[in-house]
């Protein structure tokens, strides 16, 4: 099966004055604000190894761009060592730019499957995340001898660390609404720090979803096959730069979503709208007021290739 997902994420963010080197004499005595927009393409291929095992390979291609919007009373943009209008595709003092994100290998085992009829579908899986080279080369929280921040960037496409992950999926098909519902639990664990001393968060994720089943709305080309609701809770532990806790890294994100699935002769399409809410902006950055508004839209495509590769199939 070939899979393709395009995701657009927009974060409208704001934070107050950063009180360093001292609350009485901050480097930048004005509020910071802007947009952080991401265009993400996730391409994948899944191959069945036998009736119970499959392997998936997926690759992220990303461009993440900051739009700096902090202005003075005359409409002129403030300069900042922390933020500026820029994109992750370009290099910076502490960042390697590019478009390539992490690569993911995922093995999945089918524990139970009722075929096309009502019943349970249960999977367990796990795999490896291989980082790209588009990373931060130095902590953005370092100050010089006088306690001032040098110019730096806060975002990159990869955290530079190899990780393992595991997940458990349970789905149930029924004869009444919701026709299909299920839950997924996953854990992602970093194996080591990056080459530049960053040790990323452990990630714990719980997701639930429900699909309506056929809604009998169709054209000559597309048919709405289902409307769905989802809700995810993602928790990240504290990350560290050279064994020093990274601010705002510990968080819990709540992600409600609405999806519409379309069937067609050339494959299955999906549209998804999400509105994530993060708690770390209010709890983690000592003494600095913060706020954000996050929206996410994705368009997915799935196509069964109906191919058989004898040399890969386990008898």
Average pLDDT over residues 66-84: 90
The share of the chain scoring above pLDDT 70, in percent, equals 94
Contact between 285 and 292 under an 8 Å Cβ cutoff? The reply is no
Tell me, what DSSP letter sits at residue 49?
Answer: -
Parallel, antiparallel or unpaired: strands 217-218 and 32-48? unpaired
What is the pLDDT at residue 283?
39
Mean pLDDT across 6-31: 81
pLDDT at 315: 67
Distances (CA, A) of 78 to 21, 124, 196: 19, 51, 30
Q: Which residue's structure tokens are 């588009």?
A: 134
SS3 283: helix
Whether residue 24 is predicted with pLDDT greater than 70 in this model: the reply is no
Name the pTM for this structure: 0.90
Give the pLDDT of residue 282: 42
Band of pLDDT at residue 23, cut at 50, 70 and 90: low
Domain ranges in the chain? 2-309
- Count of residues in the chain: 315
Residue 273 — very low, low, confident or very high, per pLDDT cuts 50/70/90?
very high
The winner for highest mean pLDDT among 23-27, 36-40, 77-81, 140-144 is 36-40
Residue 1 CA to residue 279 CA, distance in Å, equals 37
Give me the pLDDT at residue 225, please. Answer: 87
- Under the banding of pLDDT at 50, 70 and 90, the label for residue 284 is very low
Cα 282 to Cα 290: distance, rounded to the nearest angstrom: 6
CATH of domain 2-309: 2.40.160.40
Res 308: pLDDT: 79
Q: Sorting pLDDT into bands at 50, 70 and 90, what band is 20?
A: low
When pLDDT is averaged across residues 150-171 and rounded to a whole number, the result is: 96
């Amino acid at each position: 099966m070939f899979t393709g997902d395009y995701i657009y994420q927009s974060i409208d963010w704001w934070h107050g004055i950063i009180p360093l080197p001292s609350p009485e004499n901050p480097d930048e005595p004005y509020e910071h604000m802007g947009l952080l927009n991401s265009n993400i393409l996730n391409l994948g291929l899944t191959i069945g190894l036998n009736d119970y095992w499959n392997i998936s390979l997926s690759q992220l291609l990303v461009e993440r761009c900051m739009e700096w919007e902090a202005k003075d009373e005359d409409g002129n943009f403030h300069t900042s060592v922390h933020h500026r209008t820029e994109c992750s595709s370009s290099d910076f003092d502490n960042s390697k730019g590019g478009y390539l994100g992490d690569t993911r290998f995922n093995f999945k085992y089918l524990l139970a499957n009722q075929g096309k009829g009502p019943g349970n579908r249960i999977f367990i899986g796990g795999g490896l995340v291989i980082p790209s080279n588009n990373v931060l080369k130095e902590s953005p929280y370092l100050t010089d001898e006088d306690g001032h921040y040098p110019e730096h960037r806060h975002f990159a496409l990869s955290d530079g660390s190899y990780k393992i992950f595991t997940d458990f999926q349970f789905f149930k098909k029924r004869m009444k609404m919701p026709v299909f519902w299920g839950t997924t639990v996953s854990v992602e664990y970093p194996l080591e720090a990056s080459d530049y001393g960053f040790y990323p968060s452990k990630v714990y994720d719980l997701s639930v979803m429900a699909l309506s089943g056929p809604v009998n709305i169709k054209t000559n080309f597309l048919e709405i096959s289902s409307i769905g609701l989802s809700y995810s809770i993602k928790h990240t532990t504290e990350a560290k730069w050279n064994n020093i806790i990274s601010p705002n890294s510990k968080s819990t994100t709540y992600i409600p979503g609405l999806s519409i699935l379309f069937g067609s002769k050339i494959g299955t399409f999906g549209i998804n709208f999400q509105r994530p809410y993060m708690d770390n902006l209010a709890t983690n950055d000592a003494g600095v007021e913060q706020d954000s508004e996050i929206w996410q839209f994705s368009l997915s495509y799935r196509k069964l290739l109906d191919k058989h590769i004898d040399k890969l199939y386990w008898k």
